[in-house]
Amino acid sequence: MKVRNINRLLIIFSLFEGKKHGYEIIKEIEEKTGKRPSASQIYPFLEKMEEEGYIKMEEEGKRGKKVYSLTGEGEDFVESKFKMFSDIVESTIKKDLSVCAHCGCKVYEGGHSEEIDGEELNFCCKHCASTYQKSQG
């Protein structure tokens, strides 16, 4: 099953924290995105997730308010999404990653770059840059 939009993702992440009423989910998404989702964006998805066995719905209290929670299978599903996201974040960071031209350590941000012989080189620090420059003679 695919998670096509951010609201759906927020729904399942929200349920990962514990069981919620439909309106609580809506409120949470509104707080996180600044936009209030409509009921038609929330409930059909909850129903579908229930059909797929990821969510269970219970009626609570005298008025039979619907409460949603993740099943064991649903929790596994969310965990796999979490993992997918952390992999995406990791590969995005790695793309921007450069390696110090002197010591070879990884430089994420705030490294030191210097132009040496007309070439822009990245270093982790000034010290590495000057050592490199001396070694180049």
Which residues sit at the interface with Zn ion, rule CB under 5 A?
Answer: 100, 102-103, 124, 128
Smallest gap, in angstroms, from Cβ of residue 94 to Zn ion? 18
- What sign has the CA pseudo-torsion 78, 84, 85, 86? positive
- Residue closer to Zn ion, measured from CB, 8 or 102: 102
Least distance in Å: CB of 126 to Zn ion?
A: 10
Smallest gap, in angstroms, from Cβ of residue 118 to Zn ion? Answer: 21
The interaxial angle of helices 22-33 and 39-51, nearest 10 deg, is 120
Q: Which is nearer to Zn ion, 15 or 121 (CB)?
A: 121
Which of residues 25 and 128 has its CB atom nearest to Zn ion in the complex?
A: 128
The least CB distance from residue 106 to Zn ion, in Å, is 10
- Contact partners, residue 52, CB within 8 Å, separation at least 6: 1
Beta strands (DSSP E) in the chain are 20-21, 55-60, 65-70, 98-99, 106-107, 112-116, 119-123
- Residue 26 or 128: the one with the smaller Cβ distance to Zn ion is 128
Instruction: Kindly state the greatest CA–CA separation across the chain.
Output: 84
Output the smallest distance, CB 105 to Zn ion, in A. 5
Tokens of residue 11, six digits:
């729904």
39/105 with CB nearer Zn ion: 105
Instruction: Return the C-alpha torsion angle 55, 57, 58, 61, nearest 10.
Output: 120
